[in-house]
Chain A
Amino acid sequence: MSILECRALTKRYGNKEALGGVDLTLETGRIVGLLGPNGSGKTTLIKLACGLLTPTSGEILIDGRRPSPETNAVVSYLPERTTLPLWMSAKQAMDFYADFYADFRRYAAEEMLEKLHLEQNQTIRAMSKGMREKLQLILTMSREARLYLLDEPIGGVDPATRDYILKTIIANYNEEATVLISTHLISDVEHVLDEAIFLREGSVMLHETIDAIREEKGKSVDELFREVFAC
């Protein structure tokens, strides 16, 4: 059963084409890596799935429906920037999520905050960039969503935290949910992925399972990526 479907999905910013006729289907219960160099269209694809952008042509469907408040209820999105109001404390941010998302698990969020040594009363303004990213990831993964869209979730954190975050992603997603992770740090995420999508200049170059890549190409995803996108 597919949770995300793109049909001839095209997005242009003025004359520049960010995505060109993408056809893509993601099944439930998979952890998928959305991989590609800067400007390949990864963030655009994720924003289209969240309804933050509208397609120039084609369509994108979440659980068979166009992005809307109804699909937002089943999608948990982690943007690549700090989006929480800086005046909020971690506790207020949890209150906010609990107010608007019926699937928010407060106990899970509190447990993760404790493990990552984040104080509930500390304001986001007083947190470092890494701490803010951790908090946003905690809030995103504390939802029991059907589709997680994670845009560069490990970009700004140290390797130890990176490992913890990846463990958190695996531990917190349920088997009927799909996780789409956009990242450049392929070697770090490779071991958690079921599938990989290579995007280049707005087009899908490759969409394979990790096992198929290893068996057929005889390479790791990281090696294949470096070969395909060599400058």
Chain B
Amino acid sequence: MLGKLMKHEFRATGRAGLPLCGVMVALAVIAGLAIRFLENDSGPAFQDVVGSLSIILFLLSIFAVAVGIFIILMQSFKRNLLGDEGYLMRVLPVSVHKLLLSKLFVALLWFVASTLLIGLSVLLMAAVSGEVYVSDFRELLQALREGFHAIDGVILVQILLGWIGGMAFLTLLFYADFTLTQNFSKHKVLYNVMGVVIFIVLLRLIFGLNNALDASLFRAGELFAGEDWTATFQAAAVRSSWIRIAEVYLFDVLLYFLTWGFLRYRPNLE
């Protein structure tokens, strides 16, 4: 059933998300062409205006994809589980866990796909513009490969886990906020905003405590006593990052169960 729910969610969000991505790719090509063909055209002023405009439009489309997809996903959650469509979705013979997880998994897949697509669009624009050649891509890939080898594998894992955990956190924060404020009959938008603000203030507080913890970690380590300063510093940084990642995932779990609890025990489709 989870697979079927995900299929339905992809179908619902893809209707708006895919055209948005398509527009971004198209604008990448147009921006690349503008840069390539206007080089030898009329006057430099015209070339500059059209070239700059197409690049600005492309940059705007990147922003539109990043923000637009997030909005599409959040709207889908609200409409599908808390709005009129909730009368259809919440009487399905599936558990609230499956309903919630299907939305979360699809959201994460969208974030990964759109991030990759944004990167590929930038490369596409560069390739079409003729400013960058295949050999340049080879060099870029080689540089990336060397860069990854130079970085400790643990740090790469931390970056990946942190990014996924962070995106899940952002998604679940809005899910929880929407679900909680559904229980208010009036001023829902106001409570939505207040909920996010309160949560961010709490987070700032926790991160402040984290900084204090980090400071003591670095002090308590053999930072000043050890002989290999870099190695000791890196070890302390890795330790500190693990704590941060664990915190993010702990918040993810808390927000997930907060949303689940309200959907399960206070359905409130009044």
A contact residues vs B (CB 8 Å cutoff):
13-14, 47, 50-54, 69-70, 72-73, 75, 77, 79, 81-85, 87, 92, 96, 99-101
Contacts and interface: CB of A to CB of B under 8 A. Distances in A.
A100 B93 contact: yes
A75 B87 contact: no
Given A82-B84, A99-B4, A51 B90 contact: yes
B87 A52 contact: yes
B166 interface: no
Interface string B75-119: 000011000111110111111000000000000000000000000
A69 B93 contact: yes
A50 B267 CA distance: 11
A77 B85 CA distance: 13
Contacts of B85: 83-85
Nearest to B185: A14
7 contacts: A69-B93, A72-B92, A79-B87, A81-B87, A82-B84, A83-B87, A85-B80
B1 interface: yes
A39 B79 CA distance: 25
Contacts of A73: 93
B106 to A, nearest CB: 15
A77 B269 CA distance: 14
B92 A100 contact: yes
A100 B1 contact: yes
Contacts of A77: 87, 91
A108 to B, nearest CB: 19
A83 B86 CA distance: 7
Given A54-B265, A82-B84, A75 B15 contact: no
Given A81-B84, A85-B12, A53 B269 contact: yes
A36 B203 CA distance: 51
Contacts, number: 61
A87 B12 contact: yes
A72 B88 contact: no
B8 interface: yes
B88 A83 contact: yes
Contacts of A100: 1, 4, 92-94
Interface pairs A-B: 5 shortest CB-CB: A73-B93, A83-B87, A83-B88, A79-B87, A72-B93
Interface in B226-268: 265-268
A54 B267 contact: yes
Nearest to A13: B270
Contact of B269 (A13, A47, A99, A101): A47
Nearest to A85: B85
A85 B76 CA distance: 10
Nearest to B8: A96
B12 A75 contact: no
B207 to A, nearest CB: 37
Given A69-B93, A100-B92, A53 B84 contact: no
A204 to B, nearest CB: 22
Contacts of B185: 14
A82 B185 CA distance: 21
Contacts of A99: 4, 7-8
Contacts of A72: 91-93
Contacts of A53: 267-270
A95 to B, nearest CB: 9
Contacts of B86: 52, 83
B91 to A, nearest CB: 5
A166 B88 CA distance: 22
Interface string B3-19: 01001100110010000
Contacts of B80: 85
A18 B268 CA distance: 14
Contacts of B269: 47, 52-53
A137 to B, nearest CB: 14
A228 B137 CA distance: 83
Given A54-B265, A100-B1, A87 B15 contact: yes
